[in-house]
Amino acid sequence: MTKNLRVKSSEYIDETNRISFKFNGKTYHGFKGDTLASALLANDVHLVGRSFKYHRPRGIMTSGSEEPNAIVQVNPDTNRTEPNVRATEIEIYEGLEASSQNCWPSVEFDIGGINNFLSPFFPAGFYYKTFMWPASFWKKYEFFIRHSAGLGKSPTSIDPDIYDHRNIHCDVLVVGAGISGILAAKNAAKNNFKTLLVDEKNELGGLTIFENNEFNKIDNKTPSEWLKKEIEELKNIKNLEIKTRTSVAAYHQYNYLLARENLTDHLEAKDKTNKIRQRLLKIRAKKVILATGAIERPLIFNNNDRPGIMLSSAIKKYSEFYGVACGSKNVFFTNNDSAYESAMSLYNKGINVEAIIDIREQSESKIVKKVKEAGIKIYWSHSIVDTTGYKRLNSVSIKKLSNDGTSVTGSKISISCDCLGVAGGWTPAVHLYTQSGSKLKFDEEKKVFLPNQNTSEQISVGSCGGDFKIDEIIKNLNQKLKDTLNINETDLDSIKVEIDQENSKRNIWLLPSDKPLGKTKPFVDYQNDATAKDIKLALREGFRSIEHVKRYTTTGMGTDQGKLGNMHALGIIADTAGVKMGELGTTTFRPPYTPLTFGTIVGRNVGKFFDIFRRTPMNDWHVENKAEFENVGQWKRAWYYPINGETMHQAVQRESKAARESAGILDASTLGKIDIQGSDASEFLNRVYTNAWSKLAIGKCRYGLMLNEDGMVYDDGVTTRLGENHYIMTTTTGGAANVLGKLEDYLQTEWPELDVYLTSVTDHYATASLCGPNSKKILKKIIPDLDLSDESFPHMSFKEAKIGNVQCRIMRISFTGEHSYEINVQASYGKDLWEKCMEAGQEFNITPYGTETMHLLRAEKGFIIVGQDTDGTMTPIDLQMDWIVSKKKYDFIGKRSLYRSDTMREDRKQLVGLLTDDPNIILEEGAQIVSKLNQNPVEMLGHVTSSYFSPNLKKSIALAVVRGGKDMMGKKLFVPMENKNINVTVANPVFYDEKNERLNA
């Protein structure tokens, strides 16, 4: 029977709604409204995990998203499992299962716990120093490290949930719904600003909602009572949207914020189905009001990490908000008055408070007096020097603190306890503020980093802005709201606040023990097991930059990003190195503030929506005819059309033969098409292509090569002159968008005087490329009245025609070396055109072929494919395409670069043909080429760029780039492969029909 530590009914806990859940396989009960942490604490379970390095038992430390220890695996072994979730943020539901991470075989008996006893051998940088030597041993070390370390397990099956993204534009975004956020949102909305208020928790009110220190009053009510009334009023305000369970993950420049809205994580499995689990909100706000509050600091003392040691404010929240006592014998350890509020909160509910240990000499506040009156023992000027209890705290020992706070004196007093609340002051949650690019400044008096220089329209209000007392909060919030919203009056003008007197504080970053530092374990980063000793060691070893110390000691590098301990790390570095904290600065707080699921990040872009793809108008035909597809750019292109169980090789051989022997047809719709018009269109083409365009007659086509300004080949394609001032340019499939972008760039920025207009018409046309010796007869059948004679319609010319009533553009151009036509029709007629060609071609055994056969056929002709035979380092001269580079033109893009000393080198890699001595061996594309085999290191001459078995030549052919290849015609080279060296001979890259006789066949 587990203990029940419920102390009173709480309005946030529904005791009529009992919920059962499992933790580490054992069933427990909690109530609707509980978090996993509060429900476990109510069952007296503190031990929830093991630390990362030493595998020390660890308990729940906080009540919020800053939790470093209580991170669990939710719903283990299901497809909804999620690692590294903070127990303090999980709302329990019927059927919830969770388990500890980082322990094996169980959290109660963890074999890695031996690391704790070996810890003198695990100092900072241990992994860097030890496992790196000898280098060959790393694989062995890695096996053990990977098995004993690791935080949680990722799911192994597909995530069943739906995730979503939403864009939000608002006038005012308020982050955090504590007292400051609520008042800010209320006043913004009332003044007609479209306002969004978000909070990571499921209830509004922040810390103030359970603030009932009787000496603090707002309008004569306790802050808690008063705030409840304010929250009630929010419901009736227009212009205000409130989102709870919504955590801002990132705050980017220009007030662009990403937030994760949690919609179903708190629901039972049956209610999660078919609902959006989490939604990523992409918020662009005109003004941002950060009201992110403050995180209570622990104190750094020897063995400060045992289960049962918690933040004082968390103990108070568990008691007031969840109605749970975290211990039955409570002790507090503090440097300010807030622990006294927590002590009174417990005392008022009849929970035993043994003592308060205060490092200050005294405090005169009313709440301290109240504690004294209650008879709770206070040890002034004392510090905890050690704690005991392996899996649960059972005592603390204290000693008198010296005046300068650097040592302890006197005799040791031991106090028996099962729960210790530590209160080290408050750290403003400035994480989002700094993410926005804004700069912090250190406040020496308050010992906090505060917002200083804002880079966007934003304010930080409440405790994240450095105001910790309610009177200061209200006063400064009021002024900031008036300034930022440009309004004259607010609801806050008439609020009357009474508060307890000055809250004094004594700040000591690292508390002394009666043992030397080397013998103690004062943890600074709980999740990564970094101690004060590690930080000092890093400094001794010469690290100075805070970013370096962080990486060397791993302080602040856990999933919690060191929300609790970072300030202490800075303080210890500053004290040790003798520098001011303001000069030291902080480490960078990076998004996300709390971890995000991958699902939230990708949203709906999963499965078939992972990437956009484009399909041609003939696509259905290809699918019906069992084509295999390949991705080219974003297009799905027919790759080959296997019949009767053919392999790809067999299909391609058949298609390639058919295209040369009778007729083939290719879907060329994906080629980029740019419509170019304007009185300077010819001049424009002269400037962007390497060859001359002014004399191209209307109705003629010309192949063009486009370079970058550095002289390297960028794209190629055929351009047709449709009219005096009208051209249609084709580009490679993958290059279409970039070519258009580049042309626009020159037109708008370098040559704005040219009268030229560019329009992308790629999607407007469907293109069927009909090729082979029978292509003419097929076209004649489709368009009987079109004169197809070589005189009327020669190679490299164009005609407009009609197929039935459908207008079409026909270019007699060829990428295969065969007599061929490219027929373009309005995209919506594409499939119809294709079917007509197939029908007319049936008697000629017309064979549809895909991109693979296209590649093979053009390789037989030695035609390059930009991006396959070129890689951004090839000039037209390197490609042996000198013929296309105009010597007469004064200028074109890239011309000057062709005369740079480097591009004119004779020993550049040049495009050549390669023939294998054994005609049946097909080279691998990408294979390296050498001239000497027994050389070390071997000199690489180049590589194979295209390689096929040519069915028309009945031998293997390849294109390659080879250093100085131009002058190597007939030279014997080698392609060394894993098990053999292949003998090759450099050849003319035009393997087939060198005289181009087939174009007119």
Applying CB under 8 A, the residues found at the interface with another protein are 252-256, 284, 437, 455, 709-710, 741, 744-745, 748-750, 752, 890-891, 895-897, 899-901
Q: Which residue has the tokens 């930059």?
A: 545
Q: How far is the CB of 893 from another protein (least distance, A)?
A: 9
Burial class (CB in 10 A: 0-12, 13-18, 19+), 109: exposed
Cα–Cα distance, 128 to 553 (Å, whole number) = 10
Concatenating the DSSP letter of every residue in 256-313 gives EEEEEEESSTTS-HHHHTTSEEEEEEEEEEEEEEE---EEE---B-TTTTSTTEEEHH
Nearer Cβ to another protein (171/230): 171
Nearer to another protein, 256 or 703 (CB): 256
Task: State the Cα–Cα distance between residues 910 and 906, nearest whole angstrom.
Answer: 9
Buried b (16+ CB within 10 A) or exposed e, 71-96: bbbbbbeeebbbbbbbbbbbbbbeeb
745 versus 994: smaller Cβ distance to another protein: 745
Distance separating alpha carbons of residues 40 and 300, to the nearest angstrom: 26
Q: Which is nearer to another protein, 541 or 709 (CB)?
A: 709
Which three-class secondary structure state does DSSP give residue 469?
Answer: coil
* Dist. CA 341–CA 99, nearest whole Å: 33
Our CB check for another protein shows the closer of 349 and 896 to be 896
- Burial bucket for residue 353 (CB in 10 Å: 0-12, 13-18, 19+): buried
CB of 517 to another protein, least distance (A): 40
The backbone region for 405, taken as left when phi is positive above 0, alpha when psi lies in -120 to 50, beta otherwise, is left
Distance of CA 689 to the CA centre of its chain: 40
CB of 908 to another protein, least distance (A): 16
- Bridge partners of 799, per DSSP, are 810
| Closer residue to another protein, CB minimum distance, 113 or 591 | 591
Least distance in Å: CB of 902 to another protein?
9
Task: Give 565 or 894: the residue with its C-beta nearer to another protein.
Answer: 894
Distance, in Å, from the CA atom of 492 to the CA atom of 183, rounded to the nearest integer, reads: 8
CB 759 to another protein: min, Å: 11
The whole-angstrom separation of Cα 310 and Cα 296 is 10
Least distance to another protein from the beta carbon of 169, Å? 10
Q: Of 16 and 749, which has the nearer Cβ to another protein?
A: 749
Q: Which residues contact 752 (CB under 8 A, 6 or more apart)?
A: none
Q: Whose Cβ is closer to another protein: residue 397's or residue 897's?
A: 897
Q: 379 - beta bridge partners?
A: 357
What's the rounded Cα separation, in Å, for the pair 889 and 885?
9
Smallest separation, CB 588 to another protein (Å): 14
**Cβ atoms of residues 57 and 107 within 8 Å:** yes
CB of residue 287 to another protein, shortest distance in Å: 13
In the complex, minimum distance from the CB of residue 167 to another protein, in angstroms, rounded to a whole number: 9
Structure tokens at 2: 């587990």
DSSP string, 654-723: HHHHHHHHT-EEEE-TTSEEEEEESTTHHHHHHHHBSS--TTPPTTBEEEEEEE-TTS-EEEEEEEEEEE
Distance CA 149, CA 151 (A): 7
Residues 785 and 773: their CA atoms lie apart, in Å, by 20
- CA–CA distance, 652 with 643 (Å, rounded to integer): 11
Question: What type of residue sits at position 93?
Answer: Y
Nearer to another protein, 107 or 250 (CB): 250
Taking the least distance from each CB to another protein, the nearer of 22 and 614 is 614
Q: Which is nearer to another protein, 445 or 753 (CB)?
A: 753
Closest CA to 799 of 717, 718, 698: 698
Distances (CA, A) of 451 to 291, 385, 433, 505: 12, 35, 7, 21
Nearer to another protein, 390 or 757 (CB): 757
Q: Tell me how far, at minimum, the Cβ of 901 lies from another protein, in Å.
A: 6
Shortest approach of another protein to residue 455 CB, angstroms?
A: 6
Q: At what angle do helices 223-234 and 179-190 cross, to 10 degrees?
A: 30
CB of 877 to another protein, least distance (A): 16
Instruction: Output the smallest distance, CB 118 to another protein, in A.
Output: 46
Q: Of 576 and 897, which CB lies nearer to another protein in the complex structure?
A: 897
Give, in degrees to the nearest 5, the angle at Cα 873 between 871 and 876. 100
Q: Which is nearer to another protein, 284 or 400 (CB)?
A: 284
| Least CB distance to another protein at residue 897 (A) | 7
- Minimum CB separation from another protein for residue 757, in Å? 12
Query: Based on CB atoms, which residue is closest to another protein, 750 or 994?
Result: 750
User: Facing residues of 689 across strands?
Assistant: 706
Tracing tokens 């300004």 back to the chain, one arrives at 709
Dihedral (Cα; 449, 455, 456, 461), 10-degree rounding: 20
Query: How many residues comprise the chain?
Result: 1001
**Residues in a beta bridge with 707:** 713
Cis status of the peptide bond prior to 937, with omega within 30 of 0:
yes
Residue 633 CB, nearest approach to another protein (Å): 16
| CA–CA separation, 361 and 853 (whole Å) | 89
Tell the smallest beta-carbon distance from residue 435 to another protein (Å): 12
Helix, strand, coil percentages (3-state) for the chain, rounded to 5, are 25, 30, 45
- Min dist. Cβ of residue 702 to another protein (A): 24
**Adjacent-strand bridge partners of 49:** 58
- Tokens for 761, please give them: 């018409």
> By C-beta, is 411 or 901 nearer to another protein?
901
- List the structure tokens of 472: 């200061």
